[in-house]
Amino acid sequence: MDDNLLKSKSIEDLFKLYRETGDIYIKQEIVMRYSGIVRTIAIQLRGVYASFTDMDDIINEGIIMLMQAVDKFDPGKNVKFESYASLRIRGAIVDLARKQDWVPRNVRKLGKAIDQTFSELYFELGRYPTDEEVAEKLDITVERYHKALSDTNLFNILSLDALVDGLQEEGQNEKFLRDHNSETMPSHRLEQKELQSILKKSIESLRENEQMVVSLYYRKELSMKEIAKVMGISEPRVSQLHSAALKKLKVNLESYYIV
């Protein structure tokens, strides 16, 4: 197919044509249109892979994942391709990092304990627990708790899209791909509107500095290092704020996903 004709097609038309023909040139056009998100994610997740590989290698891996996403994506499901592909690219990078054994077992164990303790205190107190309350419950110092937040931040590095899509446990990447037929679509749209409202209120309930980190990381797509410069704080402190914010958002959204 002529390149100019391909470029004039909408992304919906391209996916339809690719499903019908399997034409590699159509696939390449789709990948080209979304290649920018690979670099954005690679920049955003530099803290995950910087110790064992460089950005060019990660971008190459991301492009491969993007190509696979084109083949697996079903336009008939109520999910944007950007969200679908971004989730898989991020997941691939984090999985690659995990294979490098980038987090010691004791750190993983403490991270899970922090999540569980935070949730228990939230439902027990009816509010977000303070750092001091969580640390006391865990029988560790506040300083150790802050360091643990920074160390375990990469557990939460998957995008906020993943959280919103109900990924409550590692490896549940398929949950957001539930079928939605014509009979359930109105209900689904209502659920999405309700979820957006819950998420908005949850973000507004965060501390001001946590809100800023969430906004700069997810909306402005800045890296942790860039956020540290903007806010005039250390990079580990940004990681602590990011991790704390995601824990609060997760605990606020947990009831929405309980089935």
* Local confidence pLDDT in tens for the 259 residues of the chain: 566 777 788 888 888 899 899 999 999 999 999 999 998 888 877 766 776 788 888 999 999 999 999 999 887 777 788 888 888 888 888 778 767 655 667 777 888 888 889 889 988 988 888 989 999 999 999 998 888 887 776 655 544 555 554 433 333 333 333 443 434 444 445 556 676 777 788 889 899 999 999 888 877 878 778 899 999 998 878 888 888 888 888 887 765 554 4
Query: In what helix (H) or strand (E) does residue 86 lie, and over which residues does it extend?
Result: helix 81-99
8 Å CB contact between 69 and 80 = no
Q: In CATH, what number does 10-102 get?
A: 1.10.1740.10
Q: CATH classification of 104-164+174-259, choosing from 3.40.50.10470, 1.10.10.10, 1.20.200.10, 3.40.1390.30?
A: 1.10.10.10
Domain chopping of the chain, boundaries: 10-102, 104-164+174-259
Q: How far apart are CA 1 and CA 88, in angstroms?
A: 29
pTM: 0.55
The pLDDT, as a whole number, for residue 232 is 93
The pLDDT, as a whole number, for residue 141 is 93
Each as own residue / partner, the long-range contacts of residues 60-69 (CB below 8 Å, 24 or more positions apart, any chain) are 61/92, 61/93, 61/96, 62/38, 62/89, 62/92, 62/93, 63/31, 63/35, 63/38, 65/89, 65/92, 66/31, 66/34, 66/35, 66/37, 66/38, 67/27, 67/31
DSSP string, 174-208: TGGG----TTTHHHHHHHHHHHHHHHHHHHHTS-H
Half-sphere exposure of 76 (CA within 13 A, CB side): 7
The pLDDT, as a whole number, for residue 186 is 47
Q: Which of 29, 32, 34 is nearest to 16 (CA)?
A: 29
